[in-house]
Structure 1
């Protein structure tokens, strides 16, 4: 997958915003004000960081050399993913999982606002 495809997919999810809060090279996607994907727009091949639970992260890192602990983030909960050589279905699943984890962590009130918008 290419950077623009990842960007469009993230933005297709409910109540997602995008911004460059750290620099002009790292695009972040948030739901409810919390980040679920970091997307460096200059990386080639496309790379992103996404949340995952620790057990699944361990499995992913053992199975795919393209998935490692995310640089500058809590490596227990964040994976860095190099898209080259990975199936699109897996990439989308990683993004979905990260979005769902972050969404579940939101307050009940905020979740209801998002679901009802």
Structure 2
């Protein structure tokens, strides 16, 4: 997965937006104002921070050396994923899971609006 493919995939989700609160080098992908993915798209190697269920985060880290506790994030809930070292399908699933976890924590009215979009 290339940086442009990563960016495009993150922006495919309902109400997804890209912001740059930490400077122009760090893309922050949000849904309804809440972070679900963070990446320095020009980084080498390409990595992305993604939210994850705590139990699943531990399991993924044990199975994949390319998945580590989230850099500069709550390490219980966030992983840093090295994109090029994992199958694209898995990276896409992890991004979608992160988006879904964030959406699940949104107020009901916002979730209903997203379901209709």
Which band: TM-score by shorter chain?
over 0.9
Q: Name the SS for the 1:36 alignment partner.
A: strand
Q: Does 1:42 align with 2:47?
A: no
Normalising by structure 2, what TM-score? Answer: 0.96
Q: Structure 1 CA distance, aligned partners of 2:107 and 2:65?
A: 35
Match of residue 84 from structure 2? 84
Q: What is the 5 A alignment of 1:14-93? A: 14-93=14-93
Q: Structure 2 CA distance, aligned partners of 1:53 and 1:106?
A: 16
* Structure 1 alignment gaps of length 5 or more: none
Q: Structure 1 CA distance, aligned partners of 2:12 and 2:36?
A: 14
Q: Name the SS for the 2:84 alignment partner.
A: coil
Q: How many residues align?
A: 117
Q: Name the SS for the 1:21 alignment partner.
A: coil
After superposition, the C-alpha distances for 1:19-64 in whole angstroms (9 at most, x for unaligned) are: 1011111101111110000011221221100000111000110111
Q: Structure 1 CA distance, aligned partners of 2:54 and 2:113?
A: 29
Normalising by structure 1, what TM-score? Answer: 0.96
* Structure 2 alignment gaps of length 5 or more: none
Q: Structure 2 CA distance, aligned partners of 1:10 and 1:83?
A: 13
Match of residue 95 from structure 2? 95
**Structure 1 position 5, deviation (Å):** 0.5
CA RMSD of aligned residues (A): 0.9
